[in-house]
Amino acid sequence: MADDQRFFTLYKQEEGRLWRMSLAIMGNEADASDALQESTIRGYRAFHQLQGGEVAFGAWMRRILANTCNQLLRKRSRQIPVEEVQADPDAFTPDVASDLGNETWMAVETLEEHYKQVVVLRFVNDLPLQDIAAALDIPLGTVKSRLHHALKLLRGRLSINA
């Protein structure tokens, strides 16, 4: 299979995960779409440099996406807030909730944006803590703190048998 087709096949396998990662970092569909497109083109151009074969493609593309997201965020001067912010009471609406499928996703949607980011990157994209820190361009300690707090919040909002 030619490299072009190989890249496309591998990309399509990862597209959903990359999209959700981009959405988590960028915060809205328009910016997430820009970041995913830009990173995909970068990945295509650098595909010949991929080390480790096809099994490494997903992690390789996630790194490119994380770098692209950070560059776009810096360019747009839209830094991820480090300070705690008040929850937006309109952020969780019944219409949105009804599309989310299960109560766990609904509970995640109630989290403030910076908590939701780390939860999605961790449990949807399965990123290690270090990679989340790199993706969001924040210290590792901040990732641990946010994730810990987010899990405590979710623990209180979900009925889970220990």
Q: Kindly write out the interface string for residues 3-22 of this chain, putting x where it contacts another protein by CB under 8 A and - elsewhere.
A: -xx--xx--x--xx--xx--
- Under rule CB under 8 A, residue 93 binds another protein: no
Give the up-direction half-sphere exposure of residue 12: CA atoms within 13 A in the CB hemisphere: 5
Measured from the Cβ of residue 5, the count of other Cβ atoms closer than 10 Å reads: 9
Q: Which of 71, 104, 110, 137 binds another protein (CB under 8 A)?
A: 104
Nearest to 117 by CA among 158, 73, 156: 73
**69 Cβ partners below 8 Å, 6+ apart?**
22, 25, 26, 35, 39, 135
Cα end-to-end distance, the chain, whole Å: 48
Amino acid at 9: T
Q: Which of 44, 58, 63, 113 binds another protein (CB under 8 A)?
A: 44
- Under rule CB under 8 A, residue 120 binds another protein: yes
Tokens in use for 142? 């901040």
Q: Which of 10, 26, 138, 154 binds another protein (CB under 8 A)?
A: 154
What is the smallest separation between the CB atom of 95 and another protein, expressed in angstroms?
A: 10
- Under rule CB under 8 A, residue 155 binds another protein: yes
CA distance linking residue 117 with residue 105, whole number of Å: 13
Nearer to another protein, 63 or 149 (CB): 149
Residues that bind another protein (CB under 8 A): 4-5, 8-9, 12, 15-16, 19-20, 23, 29, 33, 36-37, 40-41, 44-45, 96, 99-102, 104-105, 108, 119-120, 122-124, 126, 128-130, 141, 144-145, 147-148, 151, 154-155, 158, 160-162
